[in-house]
Amino acid sequence: MAVKTEPVTINLGPQHPSTHGVFRIRVKFDGEVVLDVEPVFGYLHRGTEKLAESRTYVQIVTLTDRLDYTASMSNNLSYVLAVEKLAGIETPERAKYIRVISAELARISSHLMATGFLLNDLGAFATPLMYCFRERERILDLFEMMCGARITVSYMRPGGLLQDPPDDFWPALNRMISDLPQYIDELESLITGNEIVLTRTRGVGTISPEQAINASITGPILRAAGVQWDVRRAHPYEIYDRLDFDIPIGAVGDTFDRYLVRIQEMRESVKILRQCVDQIPDGPIRAETPYFVRAPEGDVYSGVEGPKGELGFYMVSDGGISPYRCKIRAPSFINLTVLRDMLVGWKMGDLITVFGSLDIVLGEVDR
């Protein structure tokens, strides 16, 4: 017998200043069924874009670390590419390879976090997350060898890098590349065929290719919907046009596909890392640039394929040592635009799972 209930509106969050906790969803329920969703954010607002207007072009690098703090190397890369395009700076070849190595390590690290926290949201409290942390720690060890920092790295500079990695970095990187495939296999053996995971994720939170494209969605969420779009292939930057890698796509665009695409992308990142190690030349790691970089008057946009989607910087120069305006295209923010479409009609438990599959970081939502 159906029980007659009145719709009730519940506020979920904000709960914690980390992961996806500084975020509130105002949800209208009929029993446990979601009728409507209104995302609410702004609790963490950092004013990154405004702060950039009073920092020199080099100082802004530290601000980019704090956008998606699970992949700060990718943020560094997107920003310095925009400055180099704006100021006409040419980067040495060796620096380009090391930048790509850094960005792909960041992609693997970010996808490990996305996988671990998705399983956490499904109710597997700590074990899968700790498995993912295990290999992420090794990647952070590599970052520490490169620049002395693990999370907020500030490693890249307009024109190159802070410094060349030490000699013992390369054997450690090779060991990591060698170990990663079997580790990803281990993760898949535990998760991909798991009956509970399949029941909770297959067919849940589906979006169509048309919905994803119309909402400007990018990254694994777009590719999980079956759209084979990747900035590294569509608009190659650095040395990606010299590398051989595939663009994984999903079949139906559900929560399971979003998980699986990230797993497959980690495998492709390992392929990219191997090629970079084989091809990297000797030489300088930074171009000769003045202490205070000045860009001529004008504007520019530069985007990269970050772990969560297209991360881009639009910058306007008035000829000074700081940008006149800085606008960030943050994938976590834009990817939230389909949240309502994903959730209406599902239940409370599904809401947590679907939201977790978006893999947002509030640092770049509330930028």
In the chain, domain spans: 45-365
CATH 1.10.645.10 for domain 45-365: yes
The two three-digit tokens of residue 168, written as one number: 């013992």
Residue 127: per-residue pLDDT: 83
Q: How far is Cα 362 from Cα 140, in angstroms, rounded to an integer?
A: 21
Crossing angle for the helix pair 127-147 and 93-122, nearest 10 degrees? 160
- Strand-pair partners of 305: 310
Q: Up-side HSE of residue 227: CA atoms within 13 Å toward CB?
A: 21
Q: Which amino acid is at 331?
A: P
Low-confidence ranges of the chain (pLDDT < 50): none
First-to-last CA distance in the chain?
Answer: 49
The four Cα atoms 291, 161, 154, 318 give a dihedral, to 10 degrees, of 40
Instruction: Give Cα separations from 38 to 12, 72, 307, 334 (angstroms).
Output: 11, 29, 25, 15
Instruction: Give Cα separations from 32 to 6, 29, 230, 343, 344 (angstroms).
Output: 11, 6, 37, 12, 11
> Do 228 and 247 meet the contact criterion of CB atoms below 8 Å apart?
yes
- Strand-pair partners of 11: 26
Q: How far is Cα 360 from Cα 334, in angstroms, rounded to an integer?
A: 10
Residue 22: per-residue pLDDT: 80
Q: How far is Cα 324 from Cα 236, in angstroms, rounded to an integer?
A: 27
> Do 361 and 69 meet the contact criterion of CB atoms below 8 Å apart?
yes
Count the neighbouring beta carbons within 10 Å of the beta carbon of residue 294: 14
pTM given for the model: 0.94
Q: Which amino acid is at 355?
A: F
Q: How far is Cα 167 from Cα 329, in angstroms, rounded to an integer?
A: 36
> What burial class does residue 88 get, using C-beta atoms within 10 Å of its C-beta: 0-12 exposed, 13-18 middle, 19+ buried?
exposed
Count the neighbouring beta carbons within 10 Å of the beta carbon of residue 151: 12
Per the listing, tokens 């200043």 go with: 17
Q: How far is Cα 309 from Cα 200, in angstroms, rounded to an integer?
A: 24
